Amino acid sequence: MTDKIKITEHNGGKHIAIAGDINSILVSKNDTGGTYSIVEIKVFPNGGPVPHIQTREHEGFYVLEGELSFTVDGKEIIAKSGTFVNIPPHVTHSFTNKTNQLAKVLVVLAPAGLENLFIEVGDEVSDPTIQPPSMSVDKMKKFADVAAKYGVEIKH
């Protein structure tokens, strides 16, 4: 059996700076036999991903702190702390922190594997509390080039 018990302490995990936010991988594909992964995203003011779809994963978002403005299939959803948003594959979505406070969201991805896109494109950081710079033009191009390998389509 490849599954194993994994404990991730507060501010633990692998911290990846990507698109101006911090994605902390709490449990990965390798930890769960590929069934799911969990990522905590620290979304800084004006942060969040561009509109996109995943062709493979169900993605569940649970807002831990702050407020995020989700756009799901063209509809805006204001998600405050305690709100859960489930997005199945093939649905265009994005979210933005339109406030001046840090927001934290717990993301469940099933099946697992998309977290490897963050690792491949982002930069590992040691302190998950410091806002990283926005992605450079080169990093954005790499993200767009690599995304399809993970079944992600960027929408403009």
The whole-number average pLDDT for the span 80-84 is: 98
List the domain boundaries for the chain: 14-128
Contact 152, 54 (CB under 8 A): yes
Tokens 């649970």 correspond to 62
How many Å apart are CA 133 and CA 130, to the nearest integer? 10
Give me the architecture of the 14-128 domain, per CATH. Sandwich (2.60)
Provide the pLDDT for residue 3.
58
Q: pLDDT tier at 81 (50, 70, 90 boundaries)?
A: very high
Q: What confidence score (pLDDT) does residue 43 get?
A: 97
- Residue 66: Cβ-neighbour burial (10 angstroms; 0-12, 13-18, 19+): buried
Mean pLDDT of 21-40: 96
The rounded distance, in Å, linking the Cα atoms of 85 and 70 is 9
